[in-house]
Structure 1
Amino acid sequence: MLTWLTRDSLTFPPLDKALHDPNGLLAAGGDLTPERLVQAYRHGCFPWYQDGQPILWWSPDPRTVLFPDELHVSRSLAKFIRQGHCQVSFDTDFAAVIAACAAPRDYADGTWITDSMQAAYCELHRRGIAHSVEVRQNGELVGGLYGLAMGRLFFGESMFSRADNASKVGFVALVEHLKAAGFVLIDCQMPTNHLHSLGARAISRASFAEHLARHLDQPNTATWAR
């Protein structure tokens, strides 16, 4: 039975209570306050829903992740990066990145990054929890991604690209930045060919929960531009 959350409690049901069909649906309801969002990621779930639906909270099994040491950069992508077509920055325009991620896409009817979601994650950014990667060409924002950094874990949320390789360049830069700062895992949530081409793979929900327990409260040395 699906658990319905109230606004009075930040407690999520155990991850093993998530439904098998649809895969990973754990709870519904609640709100998008910073406190609840932080608790959700610490617990191992994330919000994903369409405008007009109640807030839905997911913990899929298996979980798609990338270990920084397993990043795969193809020869063509490495050459493209060396040629310096793109300039990468961190946390210089979070609002623009999340708005671009929410923009309509040719392969989708709508967006799950609603106005309320954008406002909630912008607040997490102001609190120093959510971070963005910006990829520019000649000063124009052509790609990027955003997510949450907690302990030695980064929880990726969404990325966009308006130019060839732009999101890949941003992702590679993020992984290298996180690896240097002592991060051990990047949560990619759901599988895509794009992520698998960069080295992401599936692990069990139980294994993901073990990483949460071991690394959420460990320090890291990441610095982010403000």
Structure 2
Amino acid sequence: MSDHYIYSPETIVKAYSLGLFPMADSHDSLDIKFYDPDRRALIPIDHSLGRGVHIPRRLQRRVRQAPYEVTLDQDFTAVIDACAAPSEQRTDTWINKDIRQLYIALHKMGFAHSIEVWSDGALIGGLYGVALRAAFFGESMFSRKSDASKIALVHLMARLRHGNFLLLDAQFTNDHLQQFGVTEIDRSEFQGRLDEALASDGDLHFDTPSAALVTPYLDQLAKHQV
């Protein structure tokens, strides 16, 4: 029996390429809506946007200590399920049943990816998003231990920078992302940056362990901050 979607995975990919992104109103919602906000939040991964990339020094030290194992695309379904689950920080999410199934399909097609954070074999944090050419659209993250989702984001930033990505879309800003130098730009500037990213090649370097990428990235950032 084939899967049935309210939209096809290909429609979701097309929406991203046009600057739109899908959300459900709630976990139990039967509908998916597409959004194209007037202001778009981007996370800098280099120094070409806003005030440039920023990672708090305390978090940099924490990442260098490597308290957890960080992987790429090892358990996408577990990550999206954790992002969809209620927590102390959120009583509801925008990830409904159809969103879940669509993004699992996108993962199988090679468009959606997850960063996992593990402690003693247990999944304690992570994030997922969609990669198109040199653009990465961050969707959601979760954390079950201190700094786990933040560590996942730093590892993603390092991987994107190493792979010549040009854009890390956060959609909307929030307090959690402020510490990373998240920058809001208007729709027209976003479209220009998106067009540039879609005309360029990005490489997630699947065979390269996250640990091999994050330290050189932080070293490069430290030189710029001196």
* TM-score bin, normalised by smaller chain: 0.7 to 0.9
Q: Does structure 2 conserve the Cα–Cα contact (< 8 Å) formed by 1:71 and 1:175? A: no
Mapping of residues 38-57 of structure 1, within 5 Å: 38-49=13-24, 50=26, 51-57=28-34
In 1, Cα distance between equivalents of 2:125 and 2:7: 26
Report how far residue 53 of structure 1 moved. 4.9
Q: 1:45 corresponds to which letter in structure 2?
A: L
In 1, Cα distance between equivalents of 2:130 and 2:10: 13
In 2, Cα distance between equivalents of 1:92 and 1:167: 16
Q: Give yes or no for the alignment of 1:149 onto 2:131.
A: yes
Q: Give yes or no for the alignment of 1:61 onto 2:43.
A: no
Report how far residue 42 of structure 1 moved. 0.5
Q: 1:36 corresponds to which letter in structure 2?
A: T
Query: Which of 164, 168, 171 is residue 182 of structure 1 equivalent to?
Result: 164
Q: Give yes or no for the alignment of 1:135 onto 2:112.
A: no
Which contiguous aligned blocks of 4+ residues in structure 1 show a shift greater than 4 angstroms? none
Report how far residue 161 of structure 1 moved. 0.4
Q: 2:109 corresponds to which letter in structure 1?
A: R
Q: Does structure 1 conserve the Cα–Cα contact (< 8 Å) formed by 2:6 and 2:98? A: no
In 1, Cα distance between equivalents of 2:14 and 2:170: 18
> How many residues are treated as equivalent by the alignment?
196
Matching residue of 1:7: none
Unaligned runs of 5+ in 2: 47-51, 208-226
Q: Give the root-mean-square deviation of aligned CA atoms.
A: 1.5
Q: Give yes or no for the alignment of 1:91 onto 2:73.
A: yes
- Deviation track 1:175-199 (CA, whole Å, cap 9, x = no partner) reads 0000000001100001111111112
Q: 1:178 corresponds to which letter in structure 2?
A: L
Report how far residue 221 of structure 1 moved. 2.6
Unaligned runs of 5+ in 1: 1-29
Q: Give yes or no for the alignment of 1:113 onto 2:60.
A: no
Higher helix share: 2
**Identity in percent:** 40
